Structure 1
Amino acid sequence: MTLDITGRVLRPGDDGFDDACTGYQLALPHRPDLVVAAAGTADVVAAVRHAAEHGLPVAVQATGHGRAAPIEGGVLIHTGAMDEVQVDPATRTAWVGAGTRWEKVVAAAARHGLAPPSGSSPHVGAVGYTLGGGLGLLARRRGYAADHVREFELVTADARVHRLTPGAELFRALLGGGGNFGVVTGMRIGLLPITRVYGGGLYFPASARVLAAWRDWTAGVPDELTSTVGMVPMPDLPMVPEPLRGRHVVHIRVVFEGDAETGERLVAPLRAAGPVLLDTLGVLPYTETGTISGDPPFAHAYTGRSAMLADLGPGDVDTVYELAGPDAAVPCVVQVRHLGGALARPSAAVIGHRDARYALHVLSALDDADPGKIAEAHRGLIEALHPMGTFLNFHYGPATDEQVRAAFAPDVYADLARLKARHDPDTRFHAGFTIPPAV
């Protein structure tokens, strides 16, 4: 059985097959019958046609950061080689290929004094991130990444190529609906006239007091300021800054779209929240914003869950510290993101819970850990906070039907299920967060 493609077809045992099936997320690797390492849209069309002719499921992977569930059998389309970026400075847009990482888009846009609505990790695939919504560095001022998309190129289950713009039936469904409706081979996304930001981080010894101080502080900051608080057990390793090495810390991350003097004034109350172990705040070129969160660039195995929160009261802060802090039964990395601002405004995107004030996600490494105990600990934390729903970008691991449904407003979910029935009635596309077709 052969496929006439420009890229490579990999089968179990071939060089590169295992790497293509894992990527950044080493847990729950895909186990397809074959991998199509696509070189372009024509290869994707050939792979989808092959799958349809043989009744096979299809999954798509670029970097593997957000893989939620593995495919068993069928065809895995690996888009890593489709990493084209074309910036149009006149329209402030970029055409981004399916396998492009944000770091490449950031670098290309910066040459024209522009920046994309990217997230904390420059190593994440831009298209997959945006299909999940995309909650980025400038989110309170600029909204979700999905709010900035101008055009998609999509290969549907019938192996047809579509150019989708606002008003097209499937365009809106892709703005937060994930990979349920086909293979996105590229997108045109708006760029922002930004070259520098005031940002960085403050590290404190882990304490509920610092978490509460950040929560109180968020009530009075302008939309131009987006921040996150994380609670992280830092390893005792040489690459970790000495003041943090081997400590459980609270890390407050700040990105302010404004001048340094105003930024300093805004963050002053945070510096008084406790003893500062490390202060990295200052003016940064946008090309260096990946250093703010310091997400690990190396592949590893992890699992996690997310929650959209209507609020974060004093009791909730204590709960987060108790269940995910230094004395937690299971080691966790927990992050709480301040929402509101542009994120709360209506848009064409199907992202749910735009009125949420905070988003929480918790993850744990799976190395030498009991997955059952981790799942129980994560579930206990999420349920204790009475979430409004799920944010699928931050759900790392298999999602239940209930969790997928909880990411959308009920009427939006019903619309997506009807579109699934119309465009992928056989559920050919294994999206990880699969929306079943309406009956």
Structure 2
Amino acid sequence: MASKDFPAVEGSVHVPGDEGYDAELAGFNTAYTHRPAVVVAARSAEDVRAAVTYAREHRLSVAVQATGHGLSVANEGGVLVVTRGLDGVRIDVGARTAWIGAGVTWGRVIEEAARFGLAPLSGSFPGVGAVAYTLGGGIGVLAREFGYAADHLKAAEIVTADGEVRTVDAAGDPELLWALRGAGHNFGVVTAIEVGLVPVEQIYGGQLVFDGEHAEELIRTWTAWTRTVPETVSSGIGFVAYPDLPMLPELLRGRYVATVSVAFDGPAEEGERLVAPLRAVAPPLKDGLREMPYTDSAEIYSDPPAPHAYSATNVLLAGIDEDALAGVVKAGGPDADIMCVLNVRHLGGALARMPQDGGGSALGHRDAQYLVQLITPVAGNASLAVARSVQQDLRTALAARTLGCALPFEFGDGERATEAQTRRGYTPGDYARLARLKARLDPANLFRHNRNIVPATG
């Protein structure tokens, strides 16, 4: 048993064949699974420190998993640190901050903050791990008004490759805080973070669902509309050709649909005025726009709640012209070679501005105006190959306007993930800066089961 090597671990330790080993590996994205030599289900930062020390001494790599949404490079034969047990949340009402353990999902933070009239910069799905989401950037439902979730990272507790538990903030280590804001998975196991909260209790938002026959007119109208709305409006448009399956709602079963998702931080009557051009495109199949408490914000994108297998890619665009619009609609349409979920998010606003506190952020391509994301459900290697082909077609169609990509939305390359792909998420100067910091903190590249920053040499 591996537990003899971890006598002081408060959590549990598993090796292949142990009862509980497979359960600890389970994640939301079921297409990919870590197969480590040792799993440490941590209950404290000291447990994490013991796992990292063991890995370094035995020359094993380290992967980290809380909810398993963003797995991109599987750990084969190394050490997996499972952080679900790090589940503490503390709200500081006066400072408008939250201290969040690495196993906590956004749903929990949303509920805790709402008790005090506050909200986190959470994403579209409350089941996503708050810490991993923030370290990767985080484009939340109110992103255009408040910016990336990473921009509001105040401090972090992290176990680095030397086995030290460090508290990182702007006063003590501004360089590492800068890197954690957008590339945090590369520099250690983050066991907790402190993030800023915003004074939001109610929003106006939800979904307008249209028949897919209106897809082209709708995306043209939506794109023009995004150029007119204030920063308090964040939105996206999506296209899905649903299969005819009995477990799907009658409204969607066997139908190609286009959906506009809207979040507006303002009064309902102003929200109604703002969305009027979208409603005018055609009678919607469903009109779910309403004033809602922020605790209901999951309704805005209505992401599927059950674990499933998927691959994904994305591009950040400087803008969208007619050719790009045609490419987007075709990629997400019913004639695609595999079922696709095609989403376009409106960026800009606060996302375009570098945070002024804490030394800025490593996140690149802030001049991007739109994020185009293609998600493809997969079932085995054959469908994965088709998915990659369809994803490449989309990237080719949008290449002329592409600035780079948002790395947290790249899933499924596995061992095909390359340094060149990772570089697409950063500016050249920032990537070089990250590589130098990686060489200082993790020269052996212990933490590489991610969109990996390769340590600089020389």
Superposition TM-score, scaled by structure 2 size = 0.94
1:100 aligns with 2:104: yes
What is the match of residue 158 of structure 1?
Answer: 162
Query: Structure 2 CA distance, aligned partners of 1:286 and 1:239?
Result: 28
SS, match of residue 305 in structure 1: strand
1:426 and 2:444 correspond: yes
Amino acid at match of 1:69: V
1:232-273 deviations in Å (ceiling 9; x for gaps): 223445564433232111110000000000000000100011
Root mean square deviation of aligned Cα: 1.2
1:244/1:277 contact within 8 Å kept: no
> Is 1:438 the equivalent of 2:456?
yes
Structure 1 contact 323–329 (Cα < 8 Å) conserved: no
| Map 1:3-14 → 2, pairs under 5 A | 3-4=6-7, 5-14=9-18
Per-residue deviation, residues 331-373 of structure 1 (Å, max 9, x unmatched): 2101100001000112211111000000111011112652111
Alignment map for 1:258-269 (pairs within 5 Å): 258-269=266-277
Identify which range, 247-256 or 161-170, moves more after superposition.
Answer: 161-170
Amino acid at match of 1:24: F
Q: Which residue of structure 1 lines up, in the alignment, with residue 371 of structure 2? A: 359
Counterparts of 2:13 and 2:363 in 1: how far apart (Å)? 35
* Distance (Å, rounded) in 2 between the aligned partners of 1:126 and 1:306: 21
Measured against aligned partners, the alpha-carbon deviations of 1:66-99 in whole angstroms (never above 9, x if no partner) come to 1111011110000011111000111110000011
Letter in 2 for 1:421: A
SS of aligned partner of 1:289: helix
8 A Cα contact 2:31 2:379, kept in partner? no
Query: Is 1:110 the equivalent of 2:114?
Result: yes
Equivalent position of 2:186 in the other structure: 180
User: What pairs up with 1:238-257 in 2 under 5 angstroms?
Assistant: 240-257=248-265
Aligned counterparts of 2:182 and 2:239: Cα–Cα separation in 1: 27
Determine the C-alpha separation between the residues in 1 that align with 2:322 and 2:281: 16
Which 5+ residue runs of structure 2 have no aligned equivalent? none
**Does residue 60 of structure 1 match 2:64?**
yes
Indicate the SS of the match to 1:325.
Answer: coil
**CA-CA distance at 1:166 after TM superposition:** 1.4
Q: Partner amino acid for 1:354?
A: R
1:81 and 1:99 in contact (8 A); partners too: yes
Spell out the pairing of 1:326-365 with structure 2 (5 A cutoff).
326-347=334-355, 348-365=360-377
Residue 329 of structure 1, CA deviation: 2.0
Q: Return the letter of the residue paired with 2:209.
A: Y
Q: Is 1:375 aligned to residue 388 of structure 2?
A: yes
Q: State the one-letter code of the partner of 1:8.
A: S
- Helix, strand or coil for the counterpart of 2:90? strand
Query: Residues of 1 paired with 2:94 and 2:66: CA distance?
Result: 29
* TM-score normalized by the length of structure 1: 0.98
Aligned counterpart in structure 1 of residue 430 of structure 2, from 401, 408, 412:
412
Report the counterpart of residue 320 of structure 1 in structure 2.
328
SS in 1 for 2:48: helix
CA distance in 2, matches of 1:275, 1:152: 48
For the pair 1:277 / 2:273, whether they are aligned, the reply is no
1:137 corresponds in structure 2 to 141
State the partner residue of 1:205.
211
- Structure 2 equivalent of residue 304 of structure 1: 312
Tell me how far 1:11 sits from its aligned partner. 1.4
Alignment deviations for residues 10-37 of structure 1 (CA, whole Å, 9 cap, x no partner): 1112233223223101112101001100
Q: Is the 8 A contact 1:306 1:395 kept in 2?
A: yes
Deviation at residue 52 of structure 1 after TM alignment: 0.9
Alignment-derived partner of residue 46 in structure 1 = 50
Check the 8 A contact 2:310/2:377 in 1, yes or no: yes
CA separation in 2, counterparts of 1:319 and 1:150?
A: 40
Distance 1:278 1:38 in 2: 44
Contact residue 74 and residue 449 of structure 2 kept, 8 A: no
The alignment of Structure 1 onto Structure 2 pairs a total of residues equal to: 439
Match of 1:151, SS state, is strand
> Which residue of structure 1 lines up, in the alignment, with residue 421 of structure 2?
403
The letter for the 1-side match of 2:410 is H
Name the amino acid aligned to 2:420.
Answer: E
**Structure 2 counterpart of 1:112, one-letter code:** F
What is the letter of the counterpart of residue 278 of structure 1?
K
| Mapped pair 1:385 → 2:398 | yes
Structure 2 letter corresponding to 1:410: P
Contact 1:306–1:391 (8 Å) recurs in 2: yes
Cα distance in 2 for residues equivalent to 1:6 and 1:383: 50
| C-alpha distance in 1 between matches for 2:237 and 2:23 | 33
SS at match of 2:107: helix
